[in-house]
Amino acid sequence: MPKTDFDVCIIGGGIVGLATAYQLCQTYPKLRIGILEKEAAVAQHQTGHNSGVIHSGLYYKPGSLKARLCTRGRRALTAFARAYDIPHEICGKIVVATDPKELPRLAQLYERGQANEIEGLEKITGARITELEPYFHGIEGLSVPCTGIIDFVKVAQTLARLVQEANPENQVLCSRQVTGFERHDFSMALRTQQGPVKSLYVINCSGLQSDRIASLDGIATSTCIVPFRGEYYDLTPEAASKVKNLVYPVPDPKFPFLGVHFTRTIDGLIDCGPNAVFAFKREGYSKTAFSFRDTFEALAFPGTLRLFAKNIKYGLDEYARSMSKALFLKQLQRLMPSLESTDIIPGKIGIRAQAVSRNGTPVDDFKIETRPRTIHVLNAPSPAATACLAIGEHLCQLAGEQFEL
């Protein structure tokens, strides 16, 4: 056996990579596990910029990886949070239909939730909506009591600590950007600016950079990560008192986004949003952030322009809301009619790593590809944070088979 730094090296110190390392520790305690994170700390991108919602599993196609891993992962995540005193709350949410045209979609959503065994899921009337959330308007809705909120950064930090405590040879190495792969007969060498890191096996959980890391390993993937920026407004303290928990619109199944919604966060803020606009930088957390490389690669990929062409009105509407506070407010007022412009102030910005196929279709499920000695997670958008422990368990099982651990 060749001498290496690690038995398994995970690229990416986000919540999926850390949860995978944790599950490997639990199953194979003697493995030497390394995590390479290009930033100075873990959880700096999607993990640290998401809505903080523990998703129920309501939206996903029954039988899909998303549906199965979200439901299992949600339960595992809440148990983990209880065990390690991570701030969280199972507060529930409601999905609100404001237009009769939305009622067939609401009925389909209820059927999907039933198929996904969402506990406590209930149809509610407009009167019940107002009883639960007095300042909101709707004609019918769904109550989803198993939805919650959590501090995902604390989850990631706890996972990193537990991985390092599990084995003195395990390491979380930050400021280690992977720039290349070298394949040897019985091992891999990952090139970094600090020198090569040698490992028997590699798992790519690099999120926004996952397709690029895969290409370094010679995978000619049929998809490309197209980044979408999600912008939020926060409610002022006075307006925030009018929102009890989480309120969502009925989503349009043609799009991989849930629409602007109201989310109470674990630190007491009320986030309103996000919209979804094409981002000109994969890790750009401002409206003006721009990367020539990121923009060129996305627009040169044929699936991106096909996606835009199929959804031109939706895209233009999202950009209009991005540029106009009044239009963003109008969308929020569909759910909360009394909301005024002075009630909302600019909030956080997140980036969603969405894999898109060459025909312009967003990849609807988690996507994982393998090569000898490597596993690549090529699509893991929401609900990946909720499902992180179940995704980690799934990758651990796959690694056991693929790597013959």
Q: How confident is the model at residue 314 (pLDDT cuts 50, 70, 90)?
A: confident
Q: Would you place residue 355 in the very low, low, confident or very high pLDDT band (cuts 50, 70, 90)?
A: very high
Exposure of 224 in the CB half-sphere (CA atoms within 13 A): 21
The residue ranges of every structural domain in the chain are 6-47+153-222+364-402, 93-145, 225-245+254-357
Task: Give the confidence band of 376 by pLDDT, cuts at 50, 70, 90.
Answer: very high
- How far, CA to CA in Å, does 201 sit from each of 5, 47, 167? 11, 24, 18
Q: What is the pLDDT of residues 198-257, one digit of tens each?
A: 999 999 999 999 999 999 999 988 899 999 999 999 999 999 999 999 999 999 877 667
- Lookup result for tokens 């194979």: 28
Q: pLDDT tens digit string along 104-162?
A: 999 999 999 999 999 999 999 999 999 999 999 999 999 999 999 999 999 999 999 99
The total number of residues written for the chain in this structure: 405
Q: What is the pLDDT of residues 384-394, one digit of tens each?
A: 999 999 999 99
CA dihedral 115, 120, 124, 127 (to 10 degrees): -170
The per-residue pLDDT of the chain, averaged, comes to: 95
128 three-class SS: helix
pLDDT, tens digit (0-9, with 9 covering 90-100), for 40-70: 999 999 999 999 999 999 999 999 999 999 9
The β-bridge partners of 190 are 181, 197
Tens digit of each residue's pLDDT (9 = 90 or more) over 157-189:
999 999 999 999 999 999 999 999 999 999 999
Nearest Cα residue to 384 out of 146, 47, 79: 47
> Residue 359 corresponds to which amino acid?
N
Q: What percentage of the chain exceeds 70 in pLDDT?
A: 99
End-to-end Cα, the chain, rounded Å:
14
Calculate mean pLDDT across residues 281-301: 96
Assigned architecture for domain 6-47+153-222+364-402: 3-Layer(bba) Sandwich (3.50)
286 near 349, Cβ under 8 Å? yes
Instruction: Report the pLDDT value the prediction gives residue 1, as an integer from 0 to 100.
Output: 54
Residue 82 scores a pLDDT above 90: yes
Beta bridge partners of 54: 148
pLDDT band at 398 (very low <50, low <70, confident <90, very high): very high
